[in-house]
């Protein structure tokens, strides 16, 4: 004989004593410690999402890596390119809570010529590795860079124009296999 679960639930819902006992049983599972932990997780998730949506530095980067998907990382003025979002998310998962401005040059500062350029000053070279087509990441300082040859219209993009430049491995740049 089949059990009519809908009818059984209607009977339980009509029985106030059953409702009270079920509620009391469930309430015993919610200790003050479990409620405090749930509240803390909720607060961490809220703050991580809020700070990611504004491009602010993360106070709790591991929580940000857990509660914020890469596509929610942005600035107040708009979204970021997907590879840069992924780089930032990876850095947060390693416990470093830098904000978006860490990766961007100041708006009035032009990017330095790519490493290896005849016009580049003697700069401390980064240990670039290819991250995605046209994107590089420094293995020591997590700095993100673009290959200007792969992205010829970089100067038209407000975000790409504020990133350091280096040639990727496909264009003869000094990259480390990562």
CA distances from 93 to 25, 47, 86, 114, 166 (A): 38, 16, 10, 28, 25
CB atoms within 10 A of CB 32: 7
Domain locations along the chain: 31-102
Query: Does residue 166 surpass a pLDDT of 60?
Result: yes
pLDDT value of residue 117: 47
The full 3-state SS of 131-164, as one line of letters, equals EECCEEEECCCCCEEECCCCCCCHHHCCCHHHCC
For the stretch 106-140, pLDDT in tens is: 766 665 555 544 444 545 577 888 999 999 988 88
According to the model, what pLDDT value does residue 118 have?
A: 43
User: Number of H helices and number of E strands within the chain?
Assistant: 5, 5
Give the pLDDT confidence of 67-104 residue by residue, as tens digits: 999 999 998 888 899 999 999 999 999 998 888 888 78
Angle between the 16-29 and 5-14 helix axes, to the nearest 10 degrees?
Answer: 90
pLDDT for 76 equals 86
pLDDT exceeding 90 applies to what percent of the chain? 30
């Amino acid at each position: 004989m089949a059990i009519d679960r809908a009818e059984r639930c209607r009977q339980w819902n009509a029985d106030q004593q059953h409702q009270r006992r079920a509620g009391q049983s469930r309430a015993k599972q919610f200790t003050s410690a479990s409620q405090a932990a749930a509240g803390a997780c909720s607060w961490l998730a809220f703050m991580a999402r809020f700070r990611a949506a504004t491009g602010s530095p993360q106070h709790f980067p591991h929580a940000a890596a857990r509660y914020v998907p890469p596509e929610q990382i942005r600035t107040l003025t708009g979204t970021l390119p997907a590879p840069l979002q992924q780089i930032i998310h990876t850095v947060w998962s390693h416990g470093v809570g830098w904000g978006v401005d860490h990766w961007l040059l100041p708006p009035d500062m032009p990017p330095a010529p790519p490493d290896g350029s005849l016009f580049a000053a003697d700069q401390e070279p980064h240990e670039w590795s290819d991250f995605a087509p046209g994107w590089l990441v420094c293995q020591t300082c997590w700095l993100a860079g673009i290959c200007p040859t792969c992205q010829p219209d970089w100067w038209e993009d407000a975000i790409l124009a504020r990133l350091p430049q280096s040639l990727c491995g496909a264009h003869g740049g000094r990259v480390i296999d990562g």
